[in-house]
Amino acid sequence: MPLSLLVSNMIGSHEILVRNNRVQYKFTVNRNITILRGDSASGKTTLIDMIADYSRDGAESGIVVRCDKKCVVLERGNWERDLKDYKDSIVFIDEGNSFVRSYGFADMIQNSDNYYVIATRDSLFNLPYSICEIYGIRNKSGNRYQGTKRIYSETYPLYNREILHGKPDKVIIEDSNAAYDFFRAVCGKEGIVCETACGKSNIYKCVQNANEERVLVIADGAAFGPEMERAMALKRVKNVVFFLPESFEWLILKSGLIDGNELQDMLKHPGDFIKSERYFSWERFFTALLVDQTKDSYMSYNKSSLNSVYLHEKNKDAILKTVNEEADAELFGR
């Protein structure tokens, strides 16, 4: 997979400005799925209504929308037919549209080259969205012009990185394959209990059932968005911390074990290379990239079972160094 072939139309980040004489929204969408939630009356519906008005009537609406991509609004009714017509666009969907929870919707957007901004408090378990792309809207400032107050709003991330102080007593790994093989070996040496959740939707059960004092969950942040709400809620009743890098494969790529300046440069801004039509979420891209970059070499990566070379002391230390750097803590000794 030559890196130069990964570039397509719908990639990277896109700045959006939406404005009338009373409100202005300025924000950036970074990935194929963005979720808007947060308090009532923060302006989610107003934003989407303004985009819908502009989409219908253009400049005659009196609304300004600035973006390098077409912004459209998808509504219930003929959403399937309408969605087929949208290409290379940023599609906004307001809350109250129950189709966003359907398998049909997930299927359709998986193979489209659009980005989606969805206002909902439902956890959309059919969609693999990132923990980094769940936002609230807040008022940043306001001013008065010709007697009218204009409010300036921005989006802000609802979840921030957590810091674990001290070593965990138990580690729960999202998957049951290569990542689990790796962390089970690491935990075994340190006398830490390591368990696989066999999928992200089981993590909350594992956390609830854990009897250990301090629990660390390691999961792929690139697709953990739907689980984030109940994960955070469990912090009320359990001493649990979530370490959510993009994915295990991303940690390996970032560790420097795989040579290549082009690769390291790409990892600084992967969104510019990840074609939304091809990769529903970023962790799938990182897996494909790692498999491709290591094929036919002694480092050959297989997601279903860890190549033991990654557990060789030097390689393991390089990955754990990246783990600790990303966690901003000494999660594991090296």
Partner 1 sequence: MLKVFFGEMPQALYSTSLYFDNTYFDGWLDDEFAQKMIRSVDKATVLSGHAVESKALGIIPPTKLSGGLKTLLLIYNEPNKIFNASTCGDNCAKWLLKIPKVLDRDVTVNLRHIMDFGDGNFEINILNDDTVVHNMNELVQHAVKFIGE
43 is a contact residue toward partner 1 (CB under 8 A)? yes
Contacts (CB under 8 A) with partner 1, residues 221-260: 229-230, 233-234, 236-237
Determine the Cα–Cα distance for residues 199 and 183; give it in Å rounded to an integer.
15
DSSP 8-class letter at 32: S
Determine the Cα–Cα distance for residues 21 and 19; give it in Å rounded to an integer.
7
4 is a contact residue toward partner 1 (CB under 8 A)? no
Interface pick for partner 1 out of 53, 95, 154, 169 (rule CB under 8 A): 95
96 is a contact residue toward partner 1 (CB under 8 A)? yes
Nearer to partner 1, 31 or 44 (CB): 44
Nearer to partner 1, 96 or 333 (CB): 96
156 is a contact residue toward partner 1 (CB under 8 A)? no
Strand partners, 16: 27
The piece of 10-18, 37-45, 56-64, 254-262 that touches partner 1 (CB under 8 A) is 37-45
The piece of 42-50, 58-66, 281-289, 305-313 that touches partner 1 (CB under 8 A) is 42-50
40 is a contact residue toward partner 1 (CB under 8 A)? yes
Beta-carbon-side half-sphere exposure of residue 83 (alpha carbons within 13 Å):
25
- As measured in angstroms, the least distance from the Cβ of 126 to partner 1 is 10
Contact of 73 with 98, CB cutoff 8 Å: no
Structure tokens at 237: 């009743």
201 is a contact residue toward partner 1 (CB under 8 A)? yes
121 is a contact residue toward partner 1 (CB under 8 A)? yes
Nearer to partner 1, 88 or 212 (CB): 212
269 is a contact residue toward partner 1 (CB under 8 A)? no
Contacts (CB under 8 A) with partner 1, residues 7-26: 22-23
Determine the Cα–Cα distance for residues 135 and 5; give it in Å rounded to an integer.
31
Query: What is 86-152 written as a DSSP string?
Result: --SEEEEE-TT-GGGGSHHHHHHHHT-S-EEEEE-SS--TTS---GGGEEEEEEEEEEEETTEEEEE
Q: What is the largest CA-CA distance in the chain?
A: 70
Nearer to partner 1, 37 or 284 (CB): 37
199 is a contact residue toward partner 1 (CB under 8 A)? no
Contact of 138 with 167, CB cutoff 8 Å: no
In the sheet that 115-119 helps form, which strands lie side by side, from edge to edge?
64-66, 14-19, 23-29, 148-157, 134-145, 33-36, 115-119, 89-93, 70-73
139 is a contact residue toward partner 1 (CB under 8 A)? yes
The piece of 83-91, 94-102, 177-185, 320-328 that touches partner 1 (CB under 8 A) is 94-102
Q: Binding residues for partner 1, per CB under 8 A?
A: 22-23, 37-46, 76, 95-98, 120-123, 125, 139, 148, 151, 201, 204, 208, 229-230, 233-234, 236-237
